Amino acid sequence: MRVKVKDVMSTQVASVNGSSSFKDVAEVLIAHGVSAVPVVDGDGHVIGVVSEADLLHKEEFKEQYYREGYRPPLRTRLRHRLSQEGGDGRSKSRGDTAAELMTAPAVTTRPNASIVAAMRLMEEHGVKRLPVVDDEGVLEGIISRHDLLRVFVRSDAGIAEEVCEEILEHSLWAEPHDTAVTVTHGIVTLTGRMHRRSEAQLAARMTHRVHGVVDVIDKLEWNVDDLPAWRGR
């Protein structure tokens, strides 16, 4: 039930090195149809990430004033000078190589991390792609939002098979003929009978956690109510 980053990541990764020029980085982004690429050192360690936004800073903040003899007012020139001296984007506008343009340190994840953890990292840092590195920080792959979404677009048959085999039979040791699982558009319906009420409730909770499940309709019955009765005061 626990899909890991290594199960959905792409292992064919476009990357650049720190000395790659502005033009080379732009060409890699365009050629591979991606919005960002990892920057690696000579041993494959990820040292940063350079994105379309990093490259666009150069266009955004480039000098535009001294054309055709035009000289802007003093206040405008001072404001422009101050903007060049402050802010990460403004410093990147003067960068010419990947090392000067990249965002560092890179936000990365590990192959054995859960996809939920990867999703939270993306949300926390506002990124769409995460380099996947080993324990030494060497690039192994990359995972994108698109890769994560594929996990949730599962067939009803695949979901039903996982609930039956991994939850009911393997984890809860339910007899196949005692329970039934039907799935329609990701909505799982559990029917049949289990020995204990606690097992029936656990089956429903575990089914909710299966990737691709939209909702669970619990129609399971039980033979023994082993849950303590609630006593109000």
pLDDT digits (tens, 9 = 90+) for 120-179: 999 999 898 999 999 999 999 999 988 888 777 788 999 999 999 999 999 888 888 899
Q: Supply the pLDDT for residue 94.
A: 64
**What was the pLDDT predicted at 152?**
72
pLDDT of 70 above 90: no
pLDDT of residue 90: 52
73 burial level (CB within 10 Å; 0-12, 13-18, 19+): exposed
Per-residue pLDDT tens over the stretch 181-201: 999 988 999 999 999 999 999
pLDDT value of residue 2? 67
Neighbours of 141 (CB within 10 A): 20
Scanning the structure block, which residue is given the tokens 């890179």?
A: 106
Give the confidence band of 68 by pLDDT, cuts at 50, 70, 90.
very low
Share above pLDDT 90 across residues of the chain, in percent, rounded to a whole number: 55
Per-residue confidence band for 59, with pLDDT thresholds at 50, 70 and 90: low
